Structure 1
């Protein structure tokens, strides 16, 4: 199984500067960013079989990761409109 990188800098390379700016200036963004990466690390550990989880547990984590990514993307778009 080939794993894809899901860190925000890989997902949104065009927002690299905005990600940094928001991490240091916006507590809400920073908390979401940290939670996103925490969930992502958990998913990766399960996918590489370093941790055990049921299929529904893994799916729930992936859904949470997607929800967080969507919210973070919205904040990034508002911070740096095109």
Structure 2
């Protein structure tokens, strides 16, 4: 769906406490999370403006967001255990 939010807290509500903990205690996680949020916002804005970039560029942005989200999720799972 166009313009849909993909924040970590939105997509992984069961990990909200872990997300908050890592943002406070792990600078690398916090930095990557900020970048992920920025990338997600950029994609949402482009989608809401009828994607004023070429399809390949949009695909690359979405691929980068997906890979980063997977990496952040793995860190959440590791931190919980």
The structural deviation recorded for 1:4 is 2.3
Q: Are 2:3 and 2:45, in contact at CA under 8 Å, matched by a contact in 1? A: no
TM-score (norm 2): 0.92
Q: Residue in 1 aligned with 2:62?
A: 62
The structural deviation recorded for 1:5 is 1.9
The structural deviation recorded for 1:2 is 4.6
Q: How many residues align?
A: 81
Unaligned residue ranges in structure 1 (runs of 5+): none
Separation (CA, whole Å) in 2 of partners of 1:15 and 1:26: 15
Q: Residue in 1 aligned with 2:41?
A: 41
Unaligned residue ranges in structure 2 (runs of 5+): none
Report the RMSD for the aligned CA atoms in angstroms.
Answer: 1.5
Q: Residue in 2 aligned with 1:24?
A: 24
Separation (CA, whole Å) in 1 of partners of 2:54 and 2:71: 26
Q: Are 2:43 and 2:61, in contact at CA under 8 Å, matched by a contact in 1? A: yes
Query: Per chain length, whose mean CA-contact separation is higher, i.e. which structure has more relative contact order (CA < 8 Å, sep 6+)?
Result: 2
Q: Residue in 2 aligned with 1:3?
A: 3
TM-score (norm 1): 0.91
